[in-house]
Amino acid sequence: MTIMNERKAYFYCLIVAVIWGLGFIAVDEALVSFSCFDILFIRFVGSAALAWLLIIKKVKKIHMRTVKKGMMNGVLLFIAYALQTYAQTLTSVSNNAFLSASGVVMVPYLCYLVFKKKPSKRQILSSCLCLIGIGVLTTSKMSFELGDFLAFSCAIFFAAHLVSLQYTCVLEDSQVINALQLGTCACLSIPCTLLFSKVPSSISLNSILSCIYIVVFATFLCFFLQTKAQQVASASSCSVILSTESLFAVIFSVILLKETIHMNLLIGGLMILISVILVQTSSLKNVSSEKTRYKHKAYR
């Protein structure tokens, strides 16, 4: 693994963060015509179809071990997106983005559980700062509402997916892992859609274009790039860059949705972003040793 490879991986993550930031706006627009379960179905069935087209010649060579890994990623990813998409029907784009990104602080602790890498004092401090930031973020209503709770819950599963992806993709074909995880999400979205979805009364052009963006860019392309990036960079290193999606989401929501930036959002969001930077500093200095642990663990 060369420095250029790591830099390329981090650049991939930055691209993903920008696309995901705009993705919050696309989801908000898609919700005008579709329910959250419709969007999950469209998102994962469409992106899974594209992902499987890429590996159609590799299907016969896929090992059952790889299938299990991809399915594990897919279950975590589906739960995270189900919570996040439903949360956006109950809270603002800005709150959803910031709270979803707070999961990055959990990554080092999950890495400790999986790879036996203890969190530092700085990481513990940043976790406390993140929790305070979340509290400040919601003080305008003096309560932690359901939408905010769901957004924070999805952060836990996004963090688990980051670590799971690191665990599973190091020694595997990234395209195959991506197709398997998106395929699993597509399968899980079908019963949810049948049970809870309603036929939309009308479908706007903006909603259709938003769904296309969600499928092609925010899901297929982003997870293709993320899976590839995590083959050469650790979960902790990637997560700090991916977490900037919240910053891009707020910028786009102000520009495109004309959302008002309140002082509590600025202070709370800033505290969360600072905690994200703090928790990753020590991790970035130990990428090589962390990667060695991942590879040894993945062989088992």
Query: pLDDT tens digit string along 134-159?
Result: 777 655 554 568 888 999 899 999 99
The answer to pTM > 0.75 is: yes
Structure-token pair, residue 42: 């469209």
Cβ within 8 Å of residue 296, ≥6 positions away: none
Q: Could you tell me the pLDDT band of residue 283, with boundaries at 50, 70 and 90?
A: low
pLDDT > 60? residue 3: no
Query: pLDDT tens digit string along 89-99?
Result: 898 887 888 88
Q: What is the mean pLDDT of residues 2-6?
A: 57
pLDDT > 70? residue 262: yes
- Reported for 36-39, long-range contacts at CB under 8 A and 24+ positions apart, including other chains, are 36/82, 36/85, 36/86, 36/88, 36/89, 37/189, 37/192, 37/193, 37/196, 37/197, 38/193, 38/197, 38/200, 39/85, 39/211, 39/214
**How large is the greatest C-alpha to C-alpha distance in the chain, in angstroms?**
56
Percent above pLDDT 70 for the chain: 88
pLDDT > 50? residue 122: yes
Angle subtended at Cα 54 by Cα 38 and Cα 180, rounded to the nearest 5 degrees: 55
Round to the nearest angstrom and report the end-to-end CA distance of the chain. 22
* Lookup result for tokens 């910031």: 98
Going by the DSSP 8-state scheme, the letter that residue 138 receives in this structure is T
Structure-token pair, residue 208: 């259709």
> What DSSP line would sit under 16-38, residue for residue?
HHHHHHHHHHHHHHHTTTS-HHH
pLDDT > 60? residue 282: no
> What CA–CA distances, in Å, run from 53 to 37, 64, 168, 179, 223?
24, 20, 21, 9, 15
